Structure 1
Amino acid sequence: MRALTVRPGTAGTAQLEDRPDPAPSDGQLLVEGLAIGVCGTDREIIAGDYGTAPPGRDRLVLGHESLGRVRHAPPGSDFHDGDLVVGVVRRPDPVPCGACAHGAFDMCRNGRYTERGIKELDGYAAQLWTVEPDYAVRLDPRLAEVGVLMEPTTVVAKAWEQADTIGARSWYDPQRVLVTGAGPIGLLAALLGIQRGLDVHVLDRVATGPKVDAVAALGATYHHGPVDEVAGKLQPDVVIEATGAGSVVFDAIANTAPYGITCLTGVSTPGRRLSIDAGAQNREIVLENDVVVGSVNANLGHYRAAAEALGRADVDWLRRLITRRVPLEQFTEALTAHPDDIKVVLTLS
């Protein structure tokens, strides 16, 4: 089989390798890899900025946004040959910490978790892979073309869960949400907002193109003006922040409705300085009972919620989010961003 691998910590080492077909150990599923999504984390690993190879090895198989079809399911696994599946990214730490012991490995307290395609476990960018049934999630067969969107959907399923959990501290009846950033995370966050029956607004820098069209097709409202002006007029009850841009983050936080909730999902680039009035920001957060929360990764509950959300979505709309499909052999093309990209996918089979 062919697999896309990299030497973590060393830029320019991504390459295709011929590897022996994996032999599933007792109880594992053998899965034919169909596609993987390419995201910023993958690009950082390839650039040598991030990632850890499995113990005793110097190369890591990439890919955490998976999609595959079961080639062999062992008896008693609750899976069947031909099932469409994704593999969960994170695994709990071996101690385990209190969070991991309770199934919340996305909230690991000691950092000893592992992650497929990122940290100490080979990923899914291979024509065949194996996975434990407890860390595989079945998808509706009609999602065969778009199921690779599952992992980013888990991220926003968790973000919405966090917002709802915080909102439940008091009377909570959100009406309007602002999503900042119209990449895959932002658009999928908007999808879940629409499914909740909310008045959804999406803000990004571009004025035309597939992002604008996708927002309109979803039934949400698109904006491309300054964040403080847009958010100031909207006064959103919830902000899902998906850019990681410092000025966007702080302008969004400063312009929510009273006891507004801002959930940060975008990871900022360090080293960029920004002047803010910290006293005024603190005063507003305190006096309006606002909440700012960070959210990353997902546990099994979020995967199941994401699978349900995708199953309810319009597949034609989901297809809009995949703007390029690149064969595995041409993986370098997938790593170069194009202006109209939303989600770039590597096809494996």
Structure 2
Amino acid sequence: MTVVPKTPDSAAVTDVDEPDPADGSVLVDGLLLGICGTDVEIAAGDFGSGRGGSDWMVLGHESLGRVVSAPPGSGFAAGDLVAGVVRRPDPEPCPACARGDWDFCRNGRYTERGIKEADGYGAQQWRVDPYFAVKVPPELGRLGVLTEPASILTKAWEQVDQVGARSWFEPEHVLVTGAGPIGLMAALIAQQRGYYVHVLDRATDGPKPQLVKDLGGEYLNDLSDLKVVPDVVIEATGNGKLVLDCAGLLGPGGIMCLTGISPGTDTIDAAMDPLTRQLVVRNAAIVGSVNAGKRHYAQAVDVLAAADPQWLGRLITRTVSLERWTEALEKGPDDIKVVVDLSGESRPKS
């Protein structure tokens, strides 16, 4: 699965060389590759950069593969299911990267598989350093492709917990904005924690409303229908107006974690002085969260393993073959998570 970075309409199926041993000592057969909005934007030519000296880049960062070979002492063996970590620290680590917090890189010189200066996991075979591989339990099977998106939310919830620890913090009501894969993962974790879950999304039919209801949550199409004061908001749309509206709903000590990024450039008029006053007097906090560290991948595996596998399986709404992978870039009306079958083991679905 290749693109020419910053070149629209360059997405293609390409024969490439064997994976570079410099990418890692663990050789992996690619099984599934999840597609997200970042991949769509890279394929549209909006951003992205390949490894030095190459005109093209292997796309894909939501990985699931099966180990072909691994060195002794690596912690991996042939047949293991694995997901690859996306981000790598910069070559001369900043203080955050040096301690393993590359998701908090201070100088921007990190690399990211399939996004920034490194080939991704969208290939029939790939390599990974053992440190940047996460073992997926065999009972998860193909659902292990959800590990990377789930890691985004385990980090986001960690951020909420860390901010909440500034004082007494026992949240009850959680509002999630957006019922895509990220929003539904946020709702799943909230449900696993025993919180009351409220999910806002524009879709009025399709699978989203029932998925939320099956978590025991409330599904909303309009923010005015929310009848409680949220203790936590997980914002997964990136819509600026919605961010401001939700900020105004936060109760005392409330926390909003921003996980969504909008590709738009809309501007809005906002009465910021009253909102700022409200945030200050309520000790409310807004924090952004991007990417994930290695521990968040391990936590994501735990979240997935604890979930109802039938519910998780309904998040994967379409599977396309490697030969037709560009079809995954076009989102259908009922799509939640579209995945590419890299191996031919999963029957393509229309």
TM value normalised by structure 2: 0.96
| SS of residue paired to 1:192 | helix
Match of 1:230 among 216, 225, 232: 225
Q: Determine the C-alpha separation between the residues in 2 that align with 1:224 and 1:171.
A: 32
Maintained 8 Å contact 1:27/1:74: no
Q: State the match for 1:136 in structure 2.
A: 133
Counterparts in 2 of 1:173-322, with a 5 A limit? 173-225=170-222, 227=223, 229-231=224-226, 233-322=227-316
Relative to structure 1, the CA distance from residue 140 to residue 296 in structure 2 (aligned partners, 3 Å threshold; closer, same or farther) is same
2:154 paired with 1:157? yes
Identity of aligned residues (%): 56
SS at match of 1:191: helix
Pick one of 39, 49, 61 that aligns with 1:64. Answer: 61
The unaligned stretches of length 5 or more in structure 1 are none
Rounded Cα–Cα distance in structure 2 between residues aligned with 1:70 and 1:25: 17
Q: Deviations along 1:32-78, whole A, 9 cap, x unmatched?
A: 00011111110111111110010111111000000001011111111
- Which AA in structure 1 matches 2:17? P
Alpha-carbon separation, structure 2, partners of 1:76 and 1:329: 36
Offset of residue 22 of structure 1? 2.5
Structure 2 CA distance, aligned partners of 1:266 and 1:133? Answer: 30
Residue pair 1:27, 1:77 contacting (<8 A) in 2 also: no
Matched, 1:33 2:25: no
Backbone CA RMSD of aligned residues = 1.2
| 1:230 partner letter | D
Q: Is the 8 A contact 2:23 2:128 kept in 1?
A: no
In 1: Cα distance, 2:24 partner to 2:112 partner: 20
Indicate the larger mover: 172-181 or 267-276: 267-276
Q: Which moved more, 1:179-188 or 1:200-209?
A: 200-209
Q: Matches of 2:268 and 2:120 in 1, distance apart?
A: 36
How far did 1:271 drift? 2.0
Asked if the contact 1:29–1:74 (Cα under 8 Å) also holds between the matched residues in 2, the reply is yes
CA contact (8 A) 1:182 1:202 kept: yes
Does structure 1 residue 19 correspond to structure 2 residue 16? Answer: yes
Secondary structure in 2 matching 1:18: coil
Q: How far is the alpha carbon of 1:177 from its aligned partner?
A: 0.4
> How many Å separate the matches in 1 of 2:136 and 2:305?
8
- SS at structure 1 position matched to 2:324: helix
Q: C-alpha displacement at 1:89, in angstroms?
A: 0.1
Q: Name the CA distance, whole Å, in 2 between partners of 1:310 and 1:327.
A: 24
Whole-angstrom CA distance in 2 between matches of 1:246 and 1:109? 25
CA contact (8 A) 2:177 2:183 kept: yes
Quote how far apart the aligned CAs of 1:332 are.
2.1
Is the aligned partner of 1:88 residue 2:85?
yes
Deviation at 1:270, TM superposition (A): 4.2
The alignment's TM-score, normalised by the length of structure 1, stands at 0.96
